[in-house]
Each structure stands twice: as structure tokens, then as C-alpha cells.
Structure 1
């Protein structure tokens, strides 16, 4: 009989982390999940409201840089699996304020690794016992690989790292620390590098929720440069599904790319969301009452809000994930098509104004 897992999910009140927690608890209902989150601007307890009363769920407000706190959680709850999402992730913020990215993404990951090594390896060895069964799963990004030209092959797990922003550089450093703790100390680790996520609970400073909420408030839709930057888009629940497969079937010490096989230029994403929002208002007159400021969408002209702005510094031109290894070894394939995923996402934001509206004021701080 398989022993039930006890997971520590760092950053579990953020966008991807919360979606992972909800997915895991639905599909692994007898496992215990402890969320550790500092509740910075992008962390939101409302993301976890549907599981907060579950007897197998516990939330702890705290900083991953607090190594002693992490050690105590690992011991108190007999945690055997860490799923590490906690990170500063917005590239624009990393350009204007890189310090937080160095602190959280590098020092924070180092803190977790130290705690995991001590509790899972060092303390048992000091008592003459074998290391505890464990897994440290590190969630990274495709941005560590740098940028691609239009005809370049997609990133594989063997693509050399070439980060171009403080954000991606900090994530690359954390990836290297995780690898080092496996090869030097024997910590049982896996790492996944994902493409751009989208879906429910996405903080509305990121492209897709920003476009949706700006349309609803009749605000300009900012597009960097010529808008031809290409990204591979992955529905967030498909990302959670991929991580589950890595945890259950992945080989220790390996990296796995998780992508959506779904490359889009930013301007085409913006135009698609505009078109879908126009259709939503045309098909549902109640939206006009609910969102009286969305005058362009009511007119079927949301695209008129598109505004080209100066490109950001060091803006990578193209990302693309080759997930062949993950597909072949773990039998991973995204369940959502982009058509179904974007429809679910827009529907969620239209129905959850109470969630995103209070968050809009923070975007002006970027």
C-alpha cells in the first residue's frame, strides 16, 4: 500500500502554486498539503478559500528565507515532499527592483535546500540511520534558456542557460543550486521548466489578465514594441498535471520541460482576447450592466484600446518549449487546447470581479 504524502508547497497562495494545491488536493485527497507563503503582493489567501476547511490542508504565513521555520515545518509535519513555487516572477519588477529577486529566488531557494538537507539527510545520518525518503521539486521557467530566433529549434533540457533579465538570472542561479545539492549531497531533486502559464487566479499585472481587466475598465492595452514577441502558452492546470507526473514518475536529478505546444505573438494574444471579449458582451447583455465602464467591448471594438509602448530593456524575442522528453518519459500532454483554456480563463475573470478588482491598485506600483 502506497504511503500518503505530506507536501510542503512554497508560494502556494500565488497563481501557479495555488492552482497546483487545488489540483493536487482534488486528485490526491488523502495527501496532506502544508502551504508556506509570505503573502507578498501576489500571494492571496482567497486563492485557497475552497480548501481552507479541508482537514488535510494547513496554511503557514512565513518566509522561505527563514531556514529554522522551514526546518520546524519539515519535522513537525513529517513532510516528505517539497514543491517549490515561491518566487518573484514579474520581469518588469526585476528590472526596476532586482534586490527582491536575488533575495527570494536565490537566497530563498538556498534556505530551503539547507533545511531539506539537514532534516532529510544530516539528522538521520547523525543517528546512524538512512536518509529519509524525500523529494525536492523545484519549479523553474523557460526564461533561463534565453531567447530564440524565429527559426531556431525550441528549448530542450540540454539547451545552455543564457538568462537575459534579473528575473531569469535569479531563476537560473536557483536551478544550479538545486542541481548542486543533488550531485554534492545526494538530495533527491527534480526540476521542471515551464512556459508562460495562464488561467484563474493570475495576478492582473501579467499579459492575459491585464488585457481582460483593462478592457473591462476601458483602459489602454499596452503592447511592448511591435508586439511580435513570441511565447509558448500553457494552461495552469496542465502545468499542475505535469508536475504531478514528475513527482510520481520522474527520475531523480532530472529536468523536465513542461510546455503547451502553443506559440503566439503577444499582439495576436491581445487581439484574440479583444475578439473573445467583444463576443462575450455581444452574447450576454447582462455584462453591459455588470461592467458599465467597458464601453469599447460593448461596441465590439475592444481592439481600439491597443496602445503600443516602448519596449522593455532586454526583452527576449521568443520562447518555445520542446517537451519531447516529458511527453516520452512521463506520457505528458496538455489536456486544454488554447481555445478551451482561453475561454475558461475569460469566463473566470468575468465571473470573479470581487477577486481581481481589489488587486488592480497594486499594478500602478510597477
Structure 2
């Protein structure tokens, strides 16, 4: 298999790219990443020692570049996306461009070049809040924030290429991921890095917001299973993590970091902060999916990674400002794509 991984220098995408390089049937892994603030060559680490890996720096909205790359591959897994909810409140247009038009660009190239499998990676947030029960894959999409709306639109665009053209598209929707190498704008690395620096952390509202926490490697295992065995035209929920309120999660992080609730400041809830997400993942389980990471162990290992690697996250933390608008990154779109 010759595999194109968009967004493969980001958090989840880099874990997936490294995972696939461990498979005997993988001839090539090409990572296409714009290296915005959320992408980092360092996430791929020792994978660069493998001659089968190539990093191409470029934008998924660059149709010519995507077309040139697609023709060299047999499958594509599409992680590339703007992904932080808070940023979507003030830069919604950027989310629509990347998550919708970018997805269409990738899907169009995959369709025209006869790609054997196109996996579009999405999120449980497209289902919106559920006060009870769990969303199956055919649950209505009811996103409440620009980020989730852009992902839902991207899902529908990708699936339309199956219904219209017969392109072999599958969609995965996972719950909240955690693990090493995640950008410190997300809650777990944000809290950990602040606590390691001796700073306060802020808890929204009463801390009752419930999320399912899934180790990034378990999500990658689910995505690989869909890549290999998923039925074209189908959606697969990737769940099976641990349900925790934000207050419960904070308590665990305080304990692991060796501190107490005196380091927590309560602040008013943010805009449109959905109370609860929940998914039914029995469809993927029927294909053989089983998450294997114990949450407590995985969380302790994640905290330990941040403790041991301040050089990876400290420079990124400097860019986290109270004001939400943030430069997209240092990508110079006037340059030719770089192959690294």
C-alpha cells in the first residue's frame, strides 16, 4: 500500500503515520502538512529514519499539489483540519476553507485517480450534545459551533463522493483524543503544561461537561481498521475511552502533577459549551476494534511525556494568548511545496 496521510505532522496524524510505518505491507507513507501552528516535524520523530516516509509541506486546498501527490498513492487518510473549537469562534472562515473546501479538494483528486480507499477522519462533535443515550452513525448531525459545523460539512462532502461517483470513502468519528505530542491549546496538555510551570488553570463553569477520552493510539488503531476493512460509503464511530466530567479530569491531572485545587480558578463557561457527547461504537467493534489503553496509565504516561519534553511544548505555549485570533502559522503560500 502506498499511503497519503494529510495532516500527518499534527497530533493524531503523526501517531497514525508512525503506526503505519510499522506495517509490513506499507511501501510508502507520504505526509502532506501545511505545518501551521499545530503541525510539527518533531511529531514524526524517528520516523524520518525510515526511507519510506516523505514529508511534503503544502496546503490541502492546493488542488494541483494534491493531484500530483494522489496519483502516486493507492490510499489516502485525511486528518488535515483546523481543529480547535475556541479558535473557530473568531476565525470561522478559515475552518470552512480547510475543513470543507480542503476535504472536497482531496476527495476530488481521490475520485479522479481511482484511489482504493479514502478515509475521512472526523469527530463526535458533529452529533452535537446528547443529554442521554449515545449517537449511532446514522444519528442526525447537529453541530453547535463553527468547528463542528465545518467537520460535519466535510463529512457530507466526502460521503457525497461515494454516493455520486462511487469513490471508496469511509468516515471515522472519534471521541476526544489524548496522548503525547498534542498541542498545548487542548485541555489536557494545556492544564499539564501550566501545572508544570506552577501556574493556575481555569475550569469553565461548574466543570460538569462530560467527554469521552480515548488514547490517540486506540483511535489510530480504529482508523487503520477502517482503512483496511471498512465498507465504502459507511461511517464508523471510534469510541471506547473513559467518560469524565471536566472537573473529574482536572482532579486527576492535579493528582498526577502533585498539586491541589488551590491551583484551579473557576471562570464563566465559554460560548456554546455542549454539556455531553456520547457515541455508540458497536459497529466498529463488529469489525474487531477493541481499545486497549487504560486511561489512568495513559494519562500518567502523557503527563510524563510533557514533563520530560519541555523543549517540545514550551515554545508553543508562548503563542497561546488570551485573545483567540491567532496567525495561521509561518506557511508562506507563495513558495513552491517543499519535499522533506
Determine if the TM-score, normalized by the shorter chain, exceeds 0.5: yes
Q: 1:28 to 1:305 in 2, by over 3 A?
A: farther
Matching residue within 95, 98, 107 for 1:104: 98
Q: Report the 3-state secondary structure (helix = DSSP H, G, I; strand = E; otherwise coil) of the residue aligned with 2:144.
A: coil
Contact 2:95 2:150 in 1 (8 A): yes
Structure 2 counterpart of 1:147: 129
Q: Distance in 1 between matches of 2:25 and 2:227?
A: 16
Q: Distance in 1 between matches of 2:25 and 2:55?
A: 17
Considering fraction of residues, name the structure with more helix. 1
The size of the alignment, in residue pairs, is 323
Q: Report the 3-state secondary structure (helix = DSSP H, G, I; strand = E; otherwise coil) of the residue aligned with 1:138.
A: strand
Structure 1 counterpart of 2:144: 164
Q: Report the 3-state secondary structure (helix = DSSP H, G, I; strand = E; otherwise coil) of the residue aligned with 1:26.
A: coil
Q: Distance in 2 between matches of 1:74 and 1:112?
A: 8
Shift of 1:28: 4.1
Q: Distance in 2 between matches of 1:264 and 1:134?
A: 38
Q: Distance in 2 between matches of 1:233 and 1:50?
A: 27
Q: Distance in 2 between matches of 1:138 and 1:63?
A: 16
Q: Distance in 2 between matches of 1:218 and 1:341?
A: 23
Structure 1 counterpart of 2:29: 33
- Counterpart check, 1:269 vs 2:269: no
Q: Distance in 2 between matches of 1:220 and 1:343?
A: 20
Q: Distance in 2 between matches of 1:113 and 1:252?
A: 13
Q: Distance in 1 between matches of 2:64 and 2:26?
A: 28
Structure 2 counterpart of 1:338: 295
Provide, for residues 218-273 of structure 1, a one-character-per-residue CA deviation record: whole Å limited to 9, x for no partner: 21111111110000000000111111111111111111000134110011101101
Matching residue within 69, 72, 77 for 1:73: 69
Q: Distance in 2 between matches of 1:177 and 1:139?
A: 13
Runs of 4+ displaced beyond 6 Å: none
Shift of 1:319: 0.7
Structure 1 counterpart of 2:239: 259
Q: Report the 3-state secondary structure (helix = DSSP H, G, I; strand = E; otherwise coil) of the residue aligned with 2:21.
A: helix
Structure 2 counterpart of 1:228: 208
Contact 1:146 1:316 in 2 (8 A): yes
Q: Could you state the TM-score of these two structures normalised by the residue count of structure 2?
A: 0.93
Q: Report the 3-state secondary structure (helix = DSSP H, G, I; strand = E; otherwise coil) of the residue aligned with 1:263.
A: strand
Q: Distance in 2 between matches of 1:199 and 1:143?
A: 19
- Counterpart check, 1:307 vs 2:265: yes
Which deviates more from structure 2 when the two are superposed, residues 81-90 or residues 339-348? 339-348
Q: Distance in 1 between matches of 2:129 and 2:269?
A: 15
- Counterpart check, 1:324 vs 2:306: no
Q: Report the 3-state secondary structure (helix = DSSP H, G, I; strand = E; otherwise coil) of the residue aligned with 1:223.
A: strand
Q: Report the 3-state secondary structure (helix = DSSP H, G, I; strand = E; otherwise coil) of the residue aligned with 2:47.
A: coil
- Counterpart check, 1:119 vs 2:113: yes
Structure 2 counterpart of 1:216: 196
- Counterpart check, 1:199 vs 2:199: no
Q: Distance in 2 between matches of 1:115 and 1:252?
A: 17
Shift of 1:29: 6.5
Larger RCO, structures 1/2 (Cα 8 Å, 6+ apart):
2
Q: Report the 3-state secondary structure (helix = DSSP H, G, I; strand = E; otherwise coil) of the residue aligned with 2:119.
A: strand
Shift of 1:358: 1.0
Contact 1:138 1:191 in 2 (8 A): yes
Provide, for residues 174-224 of structure 1, a one-character-per-residue CA deviation record: whole Å limited to 9, x for no partner: 000011110001100111000000001100010111111000112111111
Shift of 1:37: 0.3
Contact 1:235 1:260 in 2 (8 A): no
Unaligned runs of 5+ in 2: 325-340
Q: Which is greater in Rg?
A: 1
Q: 1:116 to 1:110 in 2, by over 3 A?
A: same
Q: Could you state the TM-score of these two structures normalised by the residue count of structure 1?
A: 0.86
